[in-house]
Each structure stands twice: as C-alpha cells, then as structure tokens.
Amino acid sequence: MPELPEVETVRRGLEPAMAGQRLIAVEQRRKDLRFPFPARFKERLEGQRVTGLSRRAKYLVLHLSSEEALIMHLGMSGRFTVEMGDKTSKPGDFHYETTGTSPHDHIVFHMENGARITYNDPRRFGFMDLVPSASLSESKHFKAMGIEPLGNELDGELIQTLFTDKKAPLKAALLDQRLIAGLGNIYVCEALHRSGLSPKRLAGTLSGNRGLMKGKAELLATTIRDVLTEAVQAGGSSLRDYAQTDGSLGYFQHRFKVYGREGEKCPTGSCSGAIERIVQSGRSTFYCRTCQK
DNA sequence: AAGCGAACCTGGCTGC
DNA sequence: TGCAGCCAGGTTCGCT
C-alpha cells in the first residue's frame, strides 16, 4: 500500500488535473469499498469545484466549493489514473465515455477540463468519505491522528515524549498512527536500519535515559524525515500495484536497504551481518541484528 | 489500558 | 498445467 510518499506523489499527480476544476460527472460503480460510500455520494460531488488538494498522513483530501471535503484513503492496492482530455471533451468523447474498464475501476471523476480520473482498487481496502470542511480535523479519521512526520514538530525530544513508558517494540510504535501518522511497513524498516536501531527494542527504552538516548532519538527523527523526503523526490516506491497517476513508476524501491532483502548482506559498510525477515504483530520486518541494536 | 492477532479482499508468485 | 499455500504498501475490531 501506499505510504506517505506514495500518497504525496498521487496528490501531486492529481493536482494539475483537478485543482480549480469542477466535477461535471462522477461514476460510482459499487456501493462500497472498505466502507459504504456516504449517502448521495455522486449528487454531493457533481457540480462542485475542487478548490484544492491536500494530504494528511496517508489520506488525500479534495476540498470542494460546497464546503465539504472528500477524504480518500488508498488502502493497500488503491490507485488513481489520470487521462487528460481537453476543454471540448463532452459525453461520448473518449475522455468522457466509459470504455472497456477493469472490474476494479470503482470510481471515475470527469472534470470540466476533460480530464478523467479513475480510482482502481482490487482489494478494496480503500475508502472515501465526505465531511464538512469546517470540522475536517475533528472528523473521525483525523481526530486521534498523530503528528505529520514531515512537519516541523518531529524531533528527538518529541519522539522521547511520545514513546515514554511504551512497552511495544519500536517497530509497532512507529507504525502507530496515533503517535506519528504516515509511516508504514517499508519506511519504518528503512528508517530503523539507517538509525542502527533494532525493531525489537522496546519503544520506551528510547526515552528511558533521556540524556544517553537523546542522540539516538534525534537520529531516528532525522532518518525518518530523510527517508520520506528522498522517497517523495523519487516519486514513491513501485511494488505490485502502485504507480503514479500517469502510469509511470516510482523508483525509490531500488534504494531500499533492507525491505524485501532477506538473506542479502547488510549494506552498512562496516557491518558483516545479513538481512533477516522476522514477523512482528503480523507484519514482515526486515533488519540486520548485527548493526541494529 | 495497552498490545497483540485476526479480519477485511483480491491477485501474484512459489513450489509440489 | 494445476492447484494449494503464502504473501502483500493498512486499518479496525475484539480478545487478553
């Protein structure tokens, strides 16, 4: 699934096709994804102008002229495809008409500029919801959400505060969206390796001795920021079903140091260890037990 | 209360 | 070739 860098790449791909444009038609091919679509979904969208697109953690938000916000989550396999039309496109034209589509094309947005934006999601773990713009941050999706890892708040001191007394492994704590929101399985593995921290270490130990652990917590904050920033610059990571909105592939996956590299030699220069795969809370963790402590 | 494991759903890959 | 089994980027629910 798309983690923060993939969602940000999608946001940037959708922006030129949707920002400032009216939604002239919305095709809804099924009544639910992971959750039911909100009541009168199509009617509440059609005719509205998209005043902007933003991202919060792994969620995309379309801001609408109706003072509602369309919250979208891509789940594990959600993907948007943009086909740019032109201003003369109208029903019956290629860019408007529903042509031979995948059975997993669930939603199609037709924009006034002729662009057609298709949401495809084979596993249907994604969802869409409409909430009043004024109460966006108080919506059920965002209410309990933690800090944005690329925002200004994330630093070693905050990590120490968030992890105080936590008995969960570092891996689980970093995946907890109520603490830091936007990290997923891949980038947590990568950030921990770059930080030289074991995914099995209890999160509370990073703040257990504040003086001694301050440097480690600071390093972790920095590597989280670095790995996410580099991934966004690379257009995200393309595994199985993820691609950018124009169909091209992100290339950060070539820069993975540990994710998916079970059995390979640890890439840390001075380290003679090998990458192992273990399972933590039901998810694969890739790490090097020699240099991650 | 916090921390696990299971569940949600489909498709792709591996190995017999 | 066919099929069973395992795995996948996330989140939520329910049970200790």
Helices then strands (H, E): number in chain A? 7, 10
- Size (chain A), residues: 293
Q: Is the dihedral of CA A38, A133, A225, A14 positive or negative?
A: positive
In this structure, what are the phi and psi dihedrals at residue A127, rounded to the nearest 5 degrees? Answer: -160, 165
Interface residues, strand C, Cβ cutoff 7 Å: A 1-3, 6, 34, 57-58, 73, 75-76, 123, 125, 141, 175, 177, 184-186, 236-242, 282-284
> C1' nearest to CA of A175: which nucleotide?
C10
Q: ∠ at Cα A189 (A142, A140), nearest 5°?
A: 10
Q: Average pLDDT for residues A243-254, to the nearest whole number?
A: 86
- From A120-124, A145-149, A209-213, A239-243, the region with the lowest mean pLDDT: A239-243
User: Which residue's C-alpha is at the least distance from the C1' of C10?
Assistant: A75
* Chain A 261-280 residues whose Cβ is under 7 Å from strand B: 280
Cα A95 from Cα A86, distance rounded (Å):
8
Residue A243 pLDDT > 80, yes or no? no
Residue nearest to nucleotide C12 (CA to C1'): A34
* Contact of A84 with A115, CB cutoff 8 Å: yes
Q: Is A194 a catalytic residue?
A: no
Residue A262 pLDDT greater than 50, yes or no: yes
Instruction: Provide the pLDDT for residue A246.
Output: 86
Helices (H), ranges, chain A: 4-18, 41-45, 156-163, 170-175, 185-195, 205-208, 210-233
Which residue of the set A11, A55, A56, A58 is catalytic?
A58
Q: What is the pLDDT of residue A208?
A: 80
A126 touches strand B (CB under 7 A): no
From the list A3, A6, A68, A190, the catalytic residue is: A3
Contacts of A125 (CB under 8 A, 6+ apart): A1, A33, A34, A75, A76, A77, A78
A12, A200, A201, A283: the active-site residue: A283
Residue A39: CB atoms within 10 A of its CB come to: 8
Active site residue A34: no
Taken in order of first residue, the domains within chain A and their CATH numbers are 4-138 (3.20.190.10), 156-287 (1.10.8.50)
Write out pLDDT tens, residues A155-211.
Answer: 999 999 999 999 999 999 999 999 999 999 999 999 999 999 999 999 999 998 778
Report field, pTM of the whole predicted structure over 0.75: yes
CA distances, A252 to each of A75, A79, A190, A284 (Å)? 20, 17, 11, 19
The per-residue pLDDT for range A67-107, each reduced to its tens digit, is: 999 999 999 999 999 998 766 655 445 444 445 578 999 99
Q: Which positions ≥6 away from A152 have C-beta within 8 Å?
A: none
